[in-house]
Amino acid sequence: MQNAFEIETKNEIRMQEGRIAMKQRVIKRIIGMVLAFTMVSAGLTGCGQKTEEAPESTQKTDEAAEDEQPAEATEAADSGEIKGSGETLVVGVQPCSFCYPVVYASEKGYFKDAGLDVEYIVFENGASMNEGLAAKQLDVGVNGLATIYTVCGDVCDLIGESESVATGVIFARPDSDIANASEQDGMKGSAETLKGKTVLGCASTLTQQQAYAYMDKFGLVAGKDYEFLSMDYSTANQAFIAGEGDIISVDGLNYIQELEDAGMVKICDYATATGGPYRSGIVSRRDVTESRGDDLTLFLQVFYNTAEELMGDLDTFHKGYLEFVLENGREYTEESVAREIEARPLFTKEVLSDSDYVLGTSTISAAKFFSEIGVIEEENLANLSHMDPTFLNKALDLDVKAAEMD
């Protein structure tokens, strides 16, 4: 049986091989990945998780940017024309389908055609991406549930959303008393069978929210009644299959399939635990929001136009996304890629044009939940006012409203 260190080491080797391949295929700077267990700086406590070193910042100073602006850029601003600043926009992504429009648009030259200089950096998870944003070494983050921490932490504004997610699942081993407990309201388990147990998951992601929400249904509190042990997704899966932990909270259809194939028993899903789906967010650092509005508008315009192109050409989407995730160490197959894209379709202008669509409703819901269980300070919820649909509306000629705290 493999121990956690061996599993983690083998996973890092695969990630390193993926990064080497990525550098050979795309000429852009990919940061090195360093194994460490830590929590994102935006108020989380508990066990740590794998992170990457933040990249050296490529952002120019405001004064330098002003000096380099040609006369036509000033004229464009005066006329109301949307024109890129010429400064590099550094974007954080993950090996996830909702991030692939950034990768595809970069490879096809769509950002360059729009007058943008975009550089993307691949992160293993949302927590490490948040660290890059907090360190001012990323300008934009295309992230999952981890967006709530940078918004509540007064680091970022929510400027868009990329998909609606309800694919998360919690598993137990088939021979455990948890798996064999009676089912009620779509969940298996009880306070008695869950107390004192260890939950594997990934901090600052959907998997942490659904784990905490599930345990909260039974009145159990992390750090007091159970332990939440944070690992990256693939390491957590391998550790659980190898016998570590008592239950695992997971997202990603490939990881779900792997656990199902290993005979694990589903005891709850995301929608049952939390009450509904989550919308993955797009955030910009607050100083970037204030100073580079046209860059953000053009970025969103290219992002959503690319998302529409990919959703209209699923063969291209499947093939390109599979190549991308394999190069970044994820053990996906053609089948798992197809299942993920089908279960988590990208948002397009058509989706955002729906009269019922409001930016940030699930961000507020998730942030309030984590505040209730003590992960986010209550006073930081006031920062949820930092949701700005201005650039989205200008990019796609929409009239989207931002959600508000009740």
Please give the mean pLDDT across all residues of the chain: 83
CATH for the 169-274 domain, from 3.40.190.10, 3.40.50.300, 3.40.50.620, 3.40.47.10: 3.40.190.10
pLDDT of residue 331: 82
pLDDT of residue 296: 98
Q: Which 3-state string (H, E, C) describes 35-82?
A: EEEECCCCCCCCCCEEEECCCCCCCCCHHHHHHHCCHHHHHHHHHCCC
Quick check: pTM over 0.85?
A: no
Tens-digit pLDDT profile for residues 44-53: 333 223 334 4
For residue 24, pLDDT over 50 is answered with no
Within the chain, which residue ranges are assigned CATH 3.40.190.10? 4-59+87-165+277-402, 169-274
Contact at 8 Å (CB) between 166 and 277?
yes
- Between 149 and 53, whose confidence is greater? 149
Query: Phi, psi at residue 184, to the nearest 5°?
Result: -145, 130
pLDDT of residue 80: 58
Q: Model confidence at 28, in pLDDT bands (50, 70, 90)?
A: very low
For residue 327, pLDDT over 90 is answered with yes
Q: N- to C-terminal Cα distance for the chain?
A: 51
Contact at 8 Å (CB) between 366 and 209?
yes
pLDDT, average across residues 393-402: 97
Tens-digit pLDDT profile for residues 53-94: 444 333 333 333 344 444 443 344 344 588 999 999 999 999
Cα 174 from Cα 281, distance rounded (Å): 35
Cα 162 from Cα 361, distance rounded (Å): 13
Q: Model confidence at 205, in pLDDT bands (50, 70, 90)?
A: confident
Contact at 8 Å (CB) between 376 and 370?
yes
Name the residue among 364, 363, 361, 315 with its Cα closest to residue 338.
Answer: 315
For residue 254, pLDDT over 50 is answered with yes
Residue found under tokens 């959303």:
161
Label the pairing between strands 117-122 and 88-93. parallel
Tens-digit pLDDT profile for residues 342-369: 989 999 999 999 999 999 999 999 999 8
Q: Could you give the percent of the chain with pLDDT greater than 90? A: 66
Beta bridge partners of 93: 122
Tens-digit pLDDT profile for residues 160-171: 999 998 789 999
- Between 315 and 16, whose confidence is greater? 315
Please give the CATH number for the structural domain made up of 4-59+87-165+277-402. 3.40.190.10
